[in-house]
Amino acid sequence: MEFSDVENDLAEILLTEEEIHAKIEELARAIEADHQGEKILLVGVLRGAVMVMADLARALKVDIEMDWMAVSSYGAGTQSSGVVRILKDLDSDLTGRRVLIVEDIIDSGLTLSWLRANLESRGAKTVEICALLRKPDALKVEVDVTYIGFDIPNKFVVGYGLDYAEQYRNLRGVAVLAPHVYE
Ligand code: IMP
Ligand code: MG
């Protein structure tokens, strides 16, 4: 759906579909350059990373593999709890693999720092991170991110896979959710 379809629920438009797609092409070129001759295993973090995974995978001009994990660090609210649970694990063996975690957003960084350590412990050759969005002012732990799309303000955003209570994931762009929706 378009911004205009949920206009009253949005406080501010941050990124259009066109801006996101242009950035994903850029990220794809950088990823290709860094992995020449080596097959990449993209690990998408469900459910928020579905859109970035689908677009990034198609932007890459090399053969890749995709696998998925589901973890939970949020309840229905808008604050990270810091407690990470695996809801769905990978099907792939990571031994010797070059793994690229594909994430929608880095907020506190708690989810990704936990996830990277978890995947590294499975014997991957490298575990790197590609995140479309990052909120620098919300970081609670340092996360070494190899590929980052956009740094955004410390506000709750929705769209392009990101939800509030499972809504707005199918919004084409990214927007700040109006506080009246969750207050
Ligand atoms: P972190 O552990 O605080 O970095 O949280 C990461 C996860 O929380 C992301 O993968 C998102 O699923 C979710 N999240 C963080 N910030 C937002 C937001 O502004 N809107 C929607 N989901 C968010
Ligand atoms: Mg996520």
Instruction: Give all strands of the β-sheet with 126-134 in edge-to-edge order.
Output: 85-88, 64-72, 40-46, 98-106, 126-134, 147-151
Question: Of all helices (H) and strands (E), which one includes residue 151?
Answer: strand 147-151
Third-level CATH fold of 17-154: Rossmann fold (3.40.50)
Task: Report residue 27 CA to chain centroid gap.
Answer: 13
Q: Along the 183 residues of the chain, how does pLDDT read in single tens digits?
A: 999 999 999 999 999 999 999 999 999 999 999 999 999 999 999 999 999 999 999 999 999 999 999 998 755 555 666 678 899 999 999 999 999 999 999 999 998 999 999 999 999 999 999 999 999 999 999 999 999 999 999 999 999 999 999 999 999 999 999 999 998
* Mutation probe of ligand 1 site: the residue of 80, 87, 154 with most atoms within 8 A of C-beta: 80
Q: What is the reported pLDDT for 72?
A: 83
CA angle 21, 27, 29 (to 5 degrees): 110
What is the whole-number distance in angstroms between the Cα of residue 147 and the centre of ligand 2? 16
Model confidence, pTM: 0.93
Question: Of all helices (H) and strands (E), which one includes residue 115?
Answer: helix 110-120
What is the whole-number distance in angstroms between the Cα of residue 104 and the centre of ligand 2? 6
Q: What is the reported pLDDT for 80?
A: 62
Question: Of all helices (H) and strands (E), which one includes residue 102?
Answer: strand 98-106
CB atoms within 10 A of CB 159: 28
Q: What is the reported pLDDT for 160?
A: 98
What is the whole-number distance in angstroms between the Cα of residue 106 and the centre of ligand 1? 6
For residue 144, indicate whether it is catalytic: no
**Closest ligand 1 atom, CA of 111?**
2
CB atoms within 10 A of CB 45: 24
Record the tokens describing residue 65, joined without a space: 């593999």
Record the tokens describing residue 70, joined without a space: 């589901």
Amino acid at 41: L
Q: What is the reported pLDDT for 105?
A: 96
Residue nearest to atom 5 of ligand 1 (CA): 107
User: Phi and psi of 127, rounded to 5°?
Assistant: -130, 110
Residues with CB under 6 A from ligand 1: 45, 48, 73-74, 80, 103-112, 156-158, 162
Instruction: List alpha helices for 1-109, DSSP H.
Output: 17-34, 50-59
Q: What is the reported pLDDT for 73?
A: 73
What is the whole-number distance in angstroms between the Cα of residue 38 and the centre of ligand 1? 30
Domain ranges of the chain: 17-154
Q: What is the reported pLDDT for 82?
A: 65
Q: What is the reported pLDDT for 34?
A: 97
User: Phi and psi of 49, rounded to 5°?
Assistant: -90, 5
Amino acid at 92: S
Single out the catalytic residue among 9, 55, 104, 107: 107
Q: What is the reported pLDDT for 81?
A: 62
